[in-house]
Structures are given as C-alpha cells and as structure tokens.
Amino acid sequence: MKISIINGPNLNLTGKREPEIYGNQSLESYFQVLAAAYPDVQFTFFQSNVEGEIVNEIQRAGFEADGIVINAGAYSHYSLAIADALRAVPAPAVEVHMSNVYQRESERHHSAIAPACVGTIAGFGLDSYRLAIESIDAMLNAQSENG
C-alpha cells in the first residue's frame, strides 16, 4: 500500500509552534515512528507553506498512491484549489487535524476540503495521522473483499 501524507502551512513548525495545542513533537520525528510502525506501507511525506505546491503534490501523488492523508492546515478552511485538486485525482483522501477544530474559533469549524475527502479525523494530536492510515487500510481492504 502506498500512502501519501501531505501537510500544509506552518505544520513544519509542529513541536515548536503553540505546543499547548499541537504538542512538543516535530512532524519529522513523528513520521519516522510512523514509518517504522508500518514497514509494509510505502510512505511519501510532503510539507509546503505554499498553496500551489500542495496542489502540485496532490496532482502528482493522487495518481500513484492508494490513499492520501492531508492536513492542509489553515487552507483546509477556505482553499477551493486544494478541494478541486483532491476531486481531480483517483486516490481517496482523509482530512486530518491534530487539534479538535470544533472546539476552537468558529472560522475553523468549516472545511472547504471535507466534501472532497472520504472522511475527517480531528482532535487526536499526531495520532490523528495514524488513525487516518488505519481508516484508509480498512477501506481498501473492505473494497478488495467486496470485489
């Protein structure tokens, strides 16, 4: 199984940025743990602060990965370009947020990309990414069992 993990703006500062919300661990160190926990999964990890680069990565990965895990950061709440890119590719996407966006400011309650994703996982810290991988795995297994 190939899974593409795509991260948006400011997520490169995870571990340093607002640790009371996002924790103390960096994405790099978490993704190393994740890759070790799933030796049979081929991961690609991508992060950009630039909307168009995220669109380019979705267009690239979306034709070769079996699933996309996307934390588009603040773009999640308003980027039609990212939503359109997710709709344009065959790989199913799961939207991820570390924080429980529904407990936060009302601007974070709306997701522009959620309608382009199979589901959303929010509020479990970095473990949200693992839960997204588990959900893609379960979904693909169910699809192959049902022919």
Nearer to ligand DQA, 48 or 76 (CB): 76
Exactly one of 78, 97, 102, 129 is catalytic; which is it? 97
27 binds ligand DQA (CB under 6 A): no
CA distances to 18, 25, 86, 106, 147 from 141, rounded to whole Å, are 37, 31, 21, 36, 10
Instruction: Tally Cβ neighbours within 10 Å of residue 145.
Output: 7
Burial of 108 (0-12, 13-18, 19+ CB in 10 A): middle
Binders in 51-90 for ligand DQA, by CB under 6 A: 71, 73-74, 76
CB of 142 to ligand DQA, least distance (A): 27
Interface residue list for ligand DQA (CB under 6 A):
10, 71, 73-74, 76, 97-99, 101, 108
